[in-house]
């Protein structure tokens, strides 16, 4: 047999193997995509309804006498006015309530915050004083859950609803007095015990401030450490130990960093609990090994010929690093940093240990305001009994994933922009 025949004979076998190899690859990718689709469809399916909220239409008589307001620009008068009473009065009139026990049932159909909503409406529309208007008020979360499930095949979810309330709701439905509106509160407010008043903003800002601290500290420190280890450190037992330990640190469970952070920053330095500053410091400890390792890899990937070129015309060590190595390694370093930060963004355990698990209503405005973080907020909400919080949990996960996607897109963009393709 001639050589070429042998080759041809084997060729078929080689092609078969190659096909199989490709099939394995495709199957793996398919499996990965399937998991992703399942995850996303589950979360989006559960959470998308949290972006709208049930509102209830009520006829309100802005009786100047009842409210005791003569001038809507007078903040004192506006503040003193009993808007909450006005809401209750309107509800009583609307449902023609006579029994004392029905009152509480009627009041609980609207959000506890309805008085403020009326106040805000009157501030926005001063001309309404003394007139009767139909206004949309935020419904209570039980009604919200009911209304969102009203089209379900096996009946709406009634939960804690009482017989009498269902009758009223039927009435409201018949009069088109229930409506879904965009859930502004979710994006504007902090945490609340009332699902309809609970928002993601405090946690989002907390996460952003925390990440800011992490980035500002871990990137320069990590890059400097990588440069030192890669370019200056002698190769000896001592640096070997450092190297091994950095790699080990990257594998340490994050909760350990939380304990460490609690001991050092809270215990030793006496910093306050729940601060993004402390959270950022703890996450810096956690992110540093990742950044150092990826930065070193990026530095190693710079072709030695470039270093030699610079050195051979008399560039000093520092000039070689600053003018040549760093610019060429920067895209890789930034990618590593963003991956590290993305990890930090999703970290919960260490933040629990330094108290960023508090009930935060006020939006933090700096790194020294008590705050919580997105994943912690998710954790907190997932633990609450109200069904609406399950929805909010999924919605918060969507926000977290959204931020992650934005960060990763940023990493890709930065890399594209900085990469020298020549």
Is 296 near other proteins (CB under 8 A)? no
Is 133 near other proteins (CB under 8 A)? no
For residues 392-421, which are near other proteins according to CB under 8 A? 420
Is 313 near other proteins (CB under 8 A)? yes
Nearer CB in complex with other proteins: 302/396: 302
Is 46 near other proteins (CB under 8 A)? no
Minimum Å gap between C-beta 292 and other proteins is 21
Is 422 near other proteins (CB under 8 A)? yes
Nearer CB in complex with other proteins: 46/323: 323
Structure-token pair, residue 170: 């039927």
Structure-token pair, residue 407: 């960060």
What mask of x and - would describe binding to other proteins in positions 326 to 345, judged by CB under 8 A?
A: --x-----------------
- Only one of the segments 140-148, 166-174, 271-279, 300-308 lies at the binding site for other proteins (rule: CB under 8 A); that segment is 300-308
Q: Are strands 178-182 and 132-138 parallel, antiparallel or unpaired?
A: unpaired
Q: Which residues on adjacent β-strands are paired with residue 57?
A: 136
Report which of 289, 298, 375, 282 is spatially closest to residue 340, judged by C-alpha positions.
289
Is 237 near other proteins (CB under 8 A)? no
Structure-token pair, residue 133: 């208007």
Q: Site for other proteins (CB under 8 A): which residue of 27, 309, 405, 412?
A: 309
Q: Site for other proteins (CB under 8 A): which residue of 310, 352, 373, 392?
A: 310
What are the Cα distances from residue 376, in Å, to 207, 285, 380, 397? 10, 19, 6, 11
Nearer CB in complex with other proteins: 358/418: 418
Minimum Å gap between C-beta 294 and other proteins is 21
Q: Which long-range contacts (CB under 8 A, 24 or more apart) does 82-87 make?
A: 82/115, 83/114, 83/115, 83/116, 83/118, 83/119, 83/122, 84/114, 84/115, 85/115, 86/60, 86/62, 86/115, 86/118, 87/58, 87/60, 87/114, 87/115, 87/118, 87/137
Q: Site for other proteins (CB under 8 A): which residue of 70, 319, 359, 405?
A: 319
How far apart CA 95 and CA 106 sit, in angstroms, is: 8
Question: Could you give the residue ranges of the DSSP H alpha helices within 175-236?
Answer: 184-188, 201-227
Is 315 near other proteins (CB under 8 A)? yes
Structure-token pair, residue 371: 């705050």
Residues forming contacts to other proteins in the complex (CB under 8 A) are 234-235, 303, 305-316, 319, 323-324, 328, 420, 422
């Amino acid at each position: 047999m001639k050589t070429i025949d042998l080759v041809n004979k084997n060729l078929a076998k080689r092609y078969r193997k190659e096909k199989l190899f490709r099939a394995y690859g495709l199957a793996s990718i398919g499996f990965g995509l399937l998991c992703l689709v399942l995850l996303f469809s589950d979360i989006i399916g559960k959470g998308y309804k949290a972006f709208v909220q049930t509102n209830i239409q009520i006829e309100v008589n802005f009786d100047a006498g009842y409210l005791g307001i003569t001038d809507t620009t007078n903040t004192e008068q506006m503040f003193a006015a009993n808007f909450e009473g006005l809401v209750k009065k309107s509800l009583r009139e609307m449902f023609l309530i006579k029994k004392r026990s029905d009152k509480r049932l009627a009041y609980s159909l609207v959000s506890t915050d309805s008085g403020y909503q009326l106040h805000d409406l009157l501030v926005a529309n001063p001309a309404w004083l003394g007139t009767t208007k139909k206004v949309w008020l935020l419904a209570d979360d039980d009604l919200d859950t009911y209304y969102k499930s009203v089209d379900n095949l096996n009946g709406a979810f009634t939960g804690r609803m009482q017989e009498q309330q269902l009758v009223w709701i039927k009435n409201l439905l018949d009069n088109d007095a229930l409506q879904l509106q965009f859930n502004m509160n979710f994006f504007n407010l902090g945490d609340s015990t009332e699902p309809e008043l609970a928002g993601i903003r405090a946690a989002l800002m907390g996460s952003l401030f925390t990440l800011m601290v992490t980035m500002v500290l871990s990137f320069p420190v990590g890059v400097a450490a990588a440069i030192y280890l890669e370019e200056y450190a002698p190769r000896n037992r001592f640096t070997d130990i450092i190297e091994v330990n950095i790699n080990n640190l990257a594998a340490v469970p994050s909760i350990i960093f939380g304990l460490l952070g609690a001991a050092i920053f809270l215990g030793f330095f006496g910093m306050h609990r729940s601060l993004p500053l402390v959270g950022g410091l703890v996450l810096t400890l956690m992110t540093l090994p990742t950044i150092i390792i990826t930065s070193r890899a990026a530095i190693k990937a710079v072709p030695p010929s470039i270093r030699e070129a610079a050195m051979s015309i008399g560039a000093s060590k520092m000039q070689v690093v600053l003018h040549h190595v760093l610019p060429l390694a920067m895209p890789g370093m930034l990618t590593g940093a963003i991956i590290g930060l993305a990890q930090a963004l999703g970290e919960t355990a260490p933040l629990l240990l330094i108290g960023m698990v508090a009930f935060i209503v006020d939006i933090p405005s700096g790194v020294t305001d008590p705050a919580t973080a997105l994943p912690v907020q998710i954790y907190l909400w997932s633990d609450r009994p109200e069904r609406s919080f399950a929805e909010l949990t999924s919605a918060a996960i969507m926000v977290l994933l959204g931020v992650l996607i934005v960060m990763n897109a940023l990493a890709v963009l930065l890399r594209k922009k900085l990469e020298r393709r020549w």
